[in-house]
A and B are shown apart, each in its own frame.
Chain A
Amino acid sequence: MGVRSVFYLGVDVGSVSTNLVLVDQLGNVEETIYLRTQGRPLAVIQTGLKELAKRYPDEAIGGVGTTGSARTLGAVILGADVVKNEITTHAVAAEQIVPGVRTILEIGGQDSKLILLKNGVVTDFAMNTVCAAGTGSFLDQQAARLQIPITKFGSLAAEARHAVRIAGRCSVFAESDMIHKQQTGHTLPDIIAGLCEALVRNYLNNLGKGKQLVPPIVFQGGVAANVGMCRAFEKALGQAIIVPEHHMVMGAVGAAILAGEAVKQKGGASNFKGLAMAEQPLVAGSKECKDCPNLCEVIEICEAGQPIARWGDRCGKWESSVAAGKQDWPDLKPQTAVR
């Protein structure tokens, strides 16, 4: 493909990973970059941009969309054309890659979602509410405890002959149950397979209650790479599970597709600030506003010493202070400065 073709950039800044994706005009994935967020979203986005800048000129990017828990932050830095929640982006991407999809299972780093669609439109969704048991972080942690690389975790589960039953409602109790099963002499594959089944049970009980999961079913998110989890879902649902090729970065793919739509709607102009943003010194700081007892934590992003955005205040006075040209940040002592 020539240099002249235009791509849309989708950026998904999640709790565990940050993904950058380029899709072409037809929604085909051209480039994916998968990075670990490691609690430093700003630096990671810039690393991703540097990677892109090596291979693509600024003109190749015709629009930007951000999603994930740090979508607002990402949007400010990049000049996004669209900022969307993860539900919408995952649904859009799945529909693009598996047309006619009816059910999306998504398990990410710290949340899990269930999305139901009909005729390409989301009709219902559920997200884990009060508990994060069964998400990627927990699997990560257990893999580390058992000293097995997370990439091998799933294939090990596939070797199981008889999955043991593990209490999966709470991740702390699941862990003690696993230790108990280890001590009584069950094999590792059996325990891991049991853990996968417990997590799937927990997922379906939490999110799938009262909902009909109609095929085709797509499983995406970081955890979809885990063969053990796929098997467990297939066993529990009695249906084939489709894991798309780019299941790790589906949120970013959706954001990119939506960015394309948004730019076309606006008439072709993008707000994208350019790949040179990778070189800009960006500093984020948060301060506690003490003007009222709400004690809002206000976040400020500075580009070369100039504030470009503030948010997090309930009353909106800091948020609007940047646009109004008021640069001062009086009587707020900086609490933390994260880079």
Chain B
Amino acid sequence: MKITFPHMGNTAIVLKALFGELGLTFVPPPPITKHTLSLGVQHSPEAACLPLKINMGNFIEAIELGADTIVMAGGVGPCRFGYYHQVQNEILKDLYCEVKMVVLEPPDNHIGEFFARMRLLTGTNSWWRLLKAMRFAFEKCVALDMLEQEASYLRCRELKRGQVDRVYRKACQGIDLASTIKDVRWCRDEFMEEMRALPLDWQKQPVKIGLTGEIYSLLEPYASGHMEKHLGHLGAEVRRSLYLHEWINEHLFMGLLRVRTHHQARKLAVPYLSCQVGGHGQEAIGSTLEFIRNGFDGVIKVAPLTCMPEIVAQAILPWVEKDHGIPVMTIYMDEQTGEAGLLTRLEAFVDMLERKKRAGCSKWG
């Protein structure tokens, strides 16, 4: 059995740690490139959203490398993502790639269901070993998220372009190689220090932009056209509404760990949208309100084109804008999105926030 999985930001490092600890063989797909995307687009329905297409590309490239089992996340609720694993399985069958698809879905009632699914993968490993492996992988996940968050905070302050990213990439490699929890923590602290010790402009008061929207577009830089990086280089401090470890805790561990959750965001969203619309629609509204509370200057909502929950959120957000006077920009991404157009929009948005800040009118409308 050779396991593979789709890429989503740093997920590969986390899953490698999990499978490695369990003594399973695995083949991570090659990094997402144009080639991945064109493979995915070629073999996917045109109207499906970008995550499905990139996933397909990942799977095909990994199968070429010898993978025969795919671990894929599933979902419940109105978002199409819930049945993507089925669609992908059918497409692979049509391509004569017989693979086993193991779906990790949020448990319906009890965390035991999640463990039962994990059992399919883990085979003869003891429960204790599985727990230990999960703890180790989760530790890597938290460390990576902390570093990523710090990088987005510091990128706009760097004096020489690209330095923060160089350290961040090194940090990711370091954490990937770490073999004990102690190593992971050491690595995290070490690179955090290195990042902060770079020549940075600490006097700078950058505009603060909150990034919210659909999970895949938020977590996978390729799916958002490296938006976080671009915004940093344009001089904006960026924070995301969602990090991988928060999602894992909330959706796979049923919120058992004491990690920031989106309960607060969902509660804040209620006056505007009182029910779940699938995906991260309600959270997108709630997070926007959270960003506003925390004094952010603007919010960018990113989602794949045709994403239903985000379309619902987009239709509601003008009211949030009107009530709170914070501009919110929605950007949809798909395989057709040109980089020049995206950059113009981001630049104009940052520019607008900077000029507004300088003019001292933080409230309008």
Contact = CB atoms under 8 A, between A and B. Distances in A.
B348 interface: yes
Contact of A293 (B31, B319, B321, B336): B31
A314 B221 CA distance: 12
A150 to B, nearest CB: 25
B344 A127 contact: yes
Interface stretch (B115-123, B188-196, B352-360): B352-360
Residue among A118, A124, A209 with the highest chain B CB neighbour number at 10 A: A124
Contacts of A314: 226
A211 B327 contact: no
Given A118-B365, A124-B321, A293 B162 contact: no
A87 interface: yes
Interface of A is mostly: loop
A211 B364 CA distance: 14
B355 A121 contact: yes
A111 B348 CA distance: 14
Contacts of B345: 127
Interface string B303-337: 00100000000010111010000010001101010
A294 interface: yes
Interface string A182-199: 000000000000000000
7 shortest A-B CB distances, which residue pairs? A210-B318, A87-B348, A293-B33, A122-B352, A85-B347, A85-B348, A121-B359
A120 B361 CA distance: 11
A118 B30 CA distance: 49
A119 interface: yes
Interface residues of A, number: 28
Contacts of A129: 331-332, 341
Nearest to A84: B351
A87 B340 CA distance: 14
Contacts of B317: 210
B93 interface: no
A123 B33 CA distance: 36
Contacts of B334: 130
Contacts of B347: 84-85
B359 A120 contact: yes
29 contacts: A69-B344, A84-B347, A84-B351, A85-B348, A87-B344, A88-B355, A118-B361, A120-B359, A121-B359, A121-B361, A122-B348, A122-B355, A122-B356, A123-B352, A123-B365, A124-B321, A124-B327, A124-B352, A125-B348, A125-B349, A127-B341, A127-B344, A127-B345, A129-B332, A130-B334, A293-B33, A293-B34, A293-B36, A294-B33
Given A123-B365, A209-B318, 9 more contacts: A86-B344, A87-B348, A88-B352, A121-B352, A127-B348, A129-B341, A293-B33, A295-B35, A320-B162
B161 interface: yes
B210 to A, nearest CB: 16
A138 B228 CA distance: 34
Contact of A292 (B33, B226, B344): B33
A316 interface: yes
Interface string B152-192: 00000000011000000000000000000000000000000
B351 A119 contact: no
A103 B289 CA distance: 26
A33 B41 CA distance: 44
A77 to B, nearest CB: 18
Nearest to B160: A320
A313 B100 CA distance: 38
B348 A119 contact: no
A294 B34 contact: yes
A320 B160 CA distance: 11
Interface string A66-96: 0001000000000000001111100000000
Contacts of B30: 293
A32 B365 CA distance: 36
A86 B348 CA distance: 8
A111 B351 CA distance: 19
Nearest to B349: A125
Contacts of B348: 85-88, 122, 125, 127
Nearest to B336: A130
Interface in A103-161: 111, 118-125, 127, 129-130
Nearest to B353: A122
A123 B365 CA distance: 9
A123 B364 contact: yes
Contacts of B319: 210
Contacts of B162: 316, 320
A211 B318 contact: yes
A85 B347 CA distance: 7
Interface string A292-308: 11110000000000000
B293 to A, nearest CB: 20
Nearest to A125: B348
Interface string B6-41: 000000000000000000000000110111100000
Nearest to A118: B364
B359 A125 contact: no
B34 to A, nearest CB: 6
B351 A88 contact: yes
Contact of B351 (A87, A118, A130): A87
B333 to A, nearest CB: 10
A90 to B, nearest CB: 10
A123 B327 contact: yes
B305 A130 contact: yes
B281 to A, nearest CB: 16
